[in-house]
């Protein structure tokens, strides 16, 4: 039969849980602030910013890109970037992507 923890051991565990909880809350707050800063920068810049999946479908973009293409967010989400890219530019993007990744 396993021995029961002492009162002091239980108190120590409670302190450890409280400390871990405080660290986790701090990390979550820092992450939230970082995400807000990132979002603010992307939404306030005049240049279009976008991210695509491996097939070239738009997965993330800012409002400036919507304005540039003349589509709403719902229309642009999932649309393929090759619709707007010449074969020459697509080859260049592919080469650069492979150099980076």
pLDDT given for residue 97 in this prediction: 80
The per-residue pLDDT string of the chain (101 residues; one tens digit each, 9 = 90 and over) reads 789 999 999 999 999 999 999 999 999 999 999 999 999 999 899 999 999 898 889 999 999 999 999 999 999 998 998 887 888 988 888 888 888 87
For residue 22, CA distances in Å to 16, 18, 19, 25, 63 come to 10, 6, 5, 5, 36
pLDDT given for residue 93 in this prediction: 80
For residue 17, CA distances in Å to 14, 62, 88 come to 5, 40, 57
Q: Are 81 and 96 in contact (CB under 8 A)?
A: no
Any idea what DSSP says for residue 80? Answer: B
């Amino acid at each position: 039969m396993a021995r029961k923890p002492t009162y002091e051991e239980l108190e120590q565990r409670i302190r450890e849980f409280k400390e871990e909880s405080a660290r986790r809350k701090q990390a979550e707050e820092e992450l939230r602030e970082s995400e807000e800063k990132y979002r603010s920068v992307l939404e306030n810049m005049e240049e279009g910013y976008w991210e695509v999946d491996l097939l070239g479908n738009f997965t993330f973009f800012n409002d400036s890109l919507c304005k540039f293409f003349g589509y709403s967010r719902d229309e642009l989400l999932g649309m393929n970037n090759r619709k707007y890219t010449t074969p020459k530019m697509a080859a260049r993007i592919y080469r650069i992507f492979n150099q980076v990744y």
